[in-house]
Structure 1
Amino acid sequence: MARGAPPRGRDLTSGPIAPALLAFAMPMLISSILQSLNGSINAIWVGRFLGENALAATSNANLVMFLLMAFVFGFGMASTILIGQAFGRKDVDGARRIIGTAIGAFLLFVILLTAAGWVFAPALLELLGTPSGAAPLALAYLRVIFFAMPSMLVMVMLMMALRGSGDALTPLWFMILSAVLDSGLNPVFILGFGPAPRLGIAGSATATVIANYTALIGMLIYIYARDLPLRLRGPELGYLKPDPALLKVIVLKGLPMGLQMIVISASSLAMLGLVNREGVDTTAAFGVAMQLWTYVQMPAMSLGGAVSAMVAQNIGAGRWDRVSAVTRAGVAFTLLITAALVAILIVADRPALALFLGGDSPALPIARHIHLLATWSFLLFGITLVLFGTVRANGAVIGPLLILTIGLFPVRLGFAALFHASLGADALWLSFPVASAVNMVLAIAFYLHGGWRKGGMGAGAPIGLDDSIEEANASTEPGGRLNPSG
């Protein structure tokens, strides 16, 4: 489809803003909830069948995986914004060049990263201070789950690219497939039902590997069968050979994005190291609390992603008059939905937590205490995510990176370390709302005064031209980079 022809992705540049944003965000929200539900069900299987040590092991191993995927995820988010801007300009061929370059360049990278992660898994777990009772289980789980990384990368990049084109439904269908397979196969391989071998905690990881590769293959078949706009055919397959100019833009945008993910990951790993010192019960309780937090923060993450895609298309179309209205709608929906979830979980925290641990677990009262002290902070965090979703749509990433670094390191970890002597473990849990409040205040200041509207790719320029690269390289504009995710 030539540049200027109407794309078949969803047009987010016209019509009422609030209904369009909500309609676009809902499939993303359902997809996020399913992803979270999948992780929670798997944690239930592991916790009930294999015990607290196994649950603590998966918490440690999953944080390592998140750390290793961070850079690649950043490049995927950068590509999504560029694709959204291309669709705003009705430049479908430009969008195909972006997705081809992104997948062609970073698939080899993630394969090498997978191999390195498998080799260095024991050192990573030791660096975390993984409890001795959980360390062998964490290593067994981590080494199998590494084999899922290539499929995870391509699936994440394709899903994000489709959303950038305005298609939130296709990723939802294949997230459903992945979640159903993963959750359903977990007990089969953990316990060895039928012809399946009894693999214990490695069985949980095996189920994830099978589910991800099956969903990826199914999604590729669907994209080509439906002839969706981002498919590559014939000469377009040559786009998988990375375009140097495009790749430079994606790297310059995605590298700071990856650094933001590294900041989040490193902060989580450092926090987990502090939690591990409190013992296995506290580590298991923290892991379960994080399962609930995943649900609480998913609406904000989904709405932040929807805001980013919608703003990117409007910037690409030159519709700056709609950007602030999209942001306000995103903040309002985020506060409303997140507040409702926080209220529900405050009322029903005991039965929700007992799903993972059982009613008699010594970790249950610890998990309830963590939940009551920290969960409300995601109201503040949600506002930050939506504001960052807006500014990243025009390439702003340096400001958000600095904001996250301040909030998650000197503020969160500093508070936890400084007040641990007087507050004990409560200092760890209270550090979450303290950091969220600081991040929110700084995010509002950056949104209002950060100059991010002057950066980015430029609404009318084709991706990859020299003027775009010059803007991506600009060091004088603090807003000239891409997204944080929290």
Structure 2
Amino acid sequence: MADSETPAPPPGSPQRRDLTTGPVFATLFAFALPSLGVNILQSINGSINSIWIGHSLGEAALAAASNASQVMFLMFGTLFGFAMATTVLIGQHMGRRDIEAVRRTLGSALALFAIAGVATATLGWVFAPQLLHALATPRDAYPLALSYLRVIFLGMPFTFVMILLTSSLRGVGDSITPLWNAILNVSLDIVLNPILILGLGPIPAMGIAGSALATLIAGLVSVTVLVYRIYAKDLPIRLRGAELAWLKPHADVAKTILAIGFPMGASMIVMSGSMLVLIGLVNREGVDTTAAFGVMNQLWSYVSMPAVAVGSAVSAMAAQNIGAEKWDRLSKITWAGIGINTLMSFVLIVAITVFARPLMQLFLPADSPAIPIGIHMNSIVAWIYLMMGVSMIVTSVVRANGAVVVPFVMLVISAVVVRFSFAFGLYPTWRAEAIWWSSVASALTSMVLSFAYYFHGGWRKKRLVAGGAPVGTPVGEAV
């Protein structure tokens, strides 16, 4: 039953955007832009931190941070799945204007994420050496990587909570508050990094541990400010009084979050693992090809940002409309998402293609033999991000109704079966060309399968949120 004491903020208020009414294209575009801003800020922050570490502490420290980042990427990829599951649940409840169910869901999820954060921090501190050995961390970088990773793990409880809160805010239609939170977090991290790495006044120089501590402090401050803002503005996800009892995990909520979150988190792991295997083939081509691939991956990361931001916005918007039983708007949401992402990605791809040489020269000497290799691979690979974006938008819509198993299977087929068969099967003959074209084959397969499931799959028949219950149990298997 909806909360009669504290109604949802009215449509158009600064607290949230009503995603179930109004022109779909304009609403989605305005909702997705702040999410894109968050992604850009986080990438810039990572680049600046790497510059400080590399220039101030040298190659070993940079290698240490890179190894620690691999651990963090896999962990956050898994966490992303559970955060998106919460976004979908909250989005559907918000579409039904059931604020009580929104808060019940948030309470259970918050307890789960807090427990997971504490467990991760504890286990991460204890097993950090084993993780770094598993990554074959270079001997010179190992002690630095251990210090960096352990401090980062200490901040996991705050990081987990912050990720959940920002995801939940998007679920209720608020993408502005997460943007302001990201600006605060990144600004603090950028300012604190040189102070704690090099030391300033009475603050001792901490080296690479200082960089990790800067991230921890920035996270703690920003999540504290985020919680304050949620309560000061009485946002829909706040809990007060008797509502605090909902912090005890509800079995149905936990079951649904885990059922949706595991396949989505596993999808990130499959994608990362697939890329790591391809890097093994790239390394066979020599240092110039490896260097070119590394630089182009930096540039392609910016091309992929619109798909991540728009996909997240599409998922929240579709979830709200499903909750509101406005199924007729889903097609408009899907095509609007595809159009917005294609336009953004196309502009970025053209820019990188036209300015490939000067962009690569930011990372490599002007006469580096890696530059023509990078230009060639970009002419093939860059365009797959248009197809990948389409797949991400389409799967974001079906996942908004709890359909996660089939998209995961489709990902395994495209990113593992098709890509590896193409790459390893043709590598003896095509050499590096087999690597680049395997990505094209994978992206094309993913797009075709996504459309096939969207138009002919049974995902519309599922009901993730039922009747007036706080959280519904999926009807049948949520595929």
Q: TM-score, normalised by structure 1?
A: 0.88
Q: Aligned residue for 1:484?
A: none
Residues 359/38 of structure 1: CA separation in 2 closer, same or farther (3 Å cut): farther
Residues 227/279 of structure 1: CA separation in 2 closer, same or farther (3 Å cut): farther
Question: In the alignment, which of 63, 71, 75 is matched to residue 78 of structure 2?
Answer: 71
Is residue 333 from structure 1 mapped to residue 340 from structure 2 by the alignment?
yes
Q: Aligned residue for 2:125?
A: 118
Name the aligned partner's letter for residue 92 of structure 2.
Answer: Q
Residues 387/55 of structure 1: CA separation in 2 closer, same or farther (3 Å cut): farther
CA distance in 2, matches of 1:386, 1:82: 18
Q: Aligned residue for 1:212?
A: 219
Q: Aligned residue for 1:30?
A: 37
Stretch of structure 1 that moved more, 442-451 or 204-213: 204-213
Structure 2: which 5+ runs fail to align?
10-15
Name the aligned partner's letter for residue 118 of structure 2.
Answer: I
Residues 376/104 of structure 1: CA separation in 2 closer, same or farther (3 Å cut): same
**Paired residues of 2:116 and 2:157 also in contact (CA < 8 A):** no
**Paired residues of 2:81 and 2:263 also in contact (CA < 8 A):** yes
Q: Deviations over 1:396-428 (max 9, x none)?
A: 101110111122222334444344444445544
Q: Aligned residue for 2:168?
A: 161
> CA offset at residue 354 of structure 1?
4.3
Q: Partner of 1:39: helix, strand, or coil?
A: helix
Is residue 469 from structure 1 mapped to residue 473 from structure 2 by the alignment?
yes
Q: How does 1:297-446 map to 2 (within 5 A)?
A: 297-356=304-363, 371-425=378-432, 427-446=434-453
**Paired residues of 1:79 and 1:99 also in contact (CA < 8 A):** yes
**Paired residues of 1:327 and 1:390 also in contact (CA < 8 A):** yes
Q: Aligned residue for 1:453?
A: 460
> CA offset at residue 249 of structure 1?
1.9
Residues 276/119 of structure 1: CA separation in 2 closer, same or farther (3 Å cut): farther
> CA offset at residue 81 of structure 1?
0.5
Name the aligned partner's letter for residue 473 of structure 2.
Answer: I
Q: Aligned residue for 2:109?
A: 102
**Paired residues of 2:117 and 2:158 also in contact (CA < 8 A):** no
Is residue 10 from structure 1 mapped to residue 17 from structure 2 by the alignment?
yes
**Paired residues of 1:131 and 1:280 also in contact (CA < 8 A):** no
Structure 1: which 5+ runs fail to align?
482-486
Stretch of structure 1 that moved more, 170-179 or 49-58: 49-58
Q: Deviations over 1:374-397 (max 9, x none)?
A: 322211111011001110111110
Q: Aligned residue for 1:176?
A: 183
Question: In the alignment, which of 77, 88, 93 is matched to residue 95 of structure 2?
Answer: 88
Q: Aligned residue for 1:147?
A: 154
Q: Aligned residue for 2:51?
A: 44
Stretch of structure 1 that moved more, 37-46 or 88-97: 37-46
**Paired residues of 1:52 and 1:284 also in contact (CA < 8 A):** no
Q: Partner of 2:383: helix, strand, or coil?
A: helix
Aligned-pair RMSD on alpha carbons?
2.8
- Percent identity over the alignment is 50
Q: Partner of 1:469: helix, strand, or coil?
A: coil
**Paired residues of 1:388 and 1:443 also in contact (CA < 8 A):** yes
CA distance in 2, matches of 1:128, 1:424: 27
Residues 101/405 of structure 1: CA separation in 2 closer, same or farther (3 Å cut): same
Stretch of structure 1 that moved more, 291-300 or 254-263: 254-263
Q: Aligned residue for 2:230?
A: 223
CA distance in 1, matches of 2:438, 2:126: 34
Residues 76/285 of structure 1: CA separation in 2 closer, same or farther (3 Å cut): same
> CA offset at residue 370 of structure 1?
5.1
**Paired residues of 1:285 and 1:367 also in contact (CA < 8 A):** yes
Q: Deviations over 1:181-206 (max 9, x none)?
A: 22233333333344443344433323
Q: Aligned residue for 2:13?
A: none
> CA offset at residue 284 of structure 1?
6.0
Stretch of structure 1 that moved more, 233-242 or 115-124: 115-124
**Paired residues of 2:465 and 2:474 also in contact (CA < 8 A):** no
> CA offset at residue 12 of structure 1?
1.0
CA distance in 2, matches of 1:71, 1:125: 19
Stretch of structure 1 that moved more, 342-351 or 364-373: 364-373
Q: Partner of 1:255: helix, strand, or coil?
A: helix
Q: Partner of 1:12: helix, strand, or coil?
A: coil
Residues 275/232 of structure 1: CA separation in 2 closer, same or farther (3 Å cut): farther
Stretch of structure 1 that moved more, 282-291 or 81-90: 282-291
**Paired residues of 2:171 and 2:316 also in contact (CA < 8 A):** yes
> CA offset at residue 115 of structure 1?
2.5
Residues 243/369 of structure 1: CA separation in 2 closer, same or farther (3 Å cut): same
Is residue 248 from structure 1 mapped to residue 255 from structure 2 by the alignment?
yes
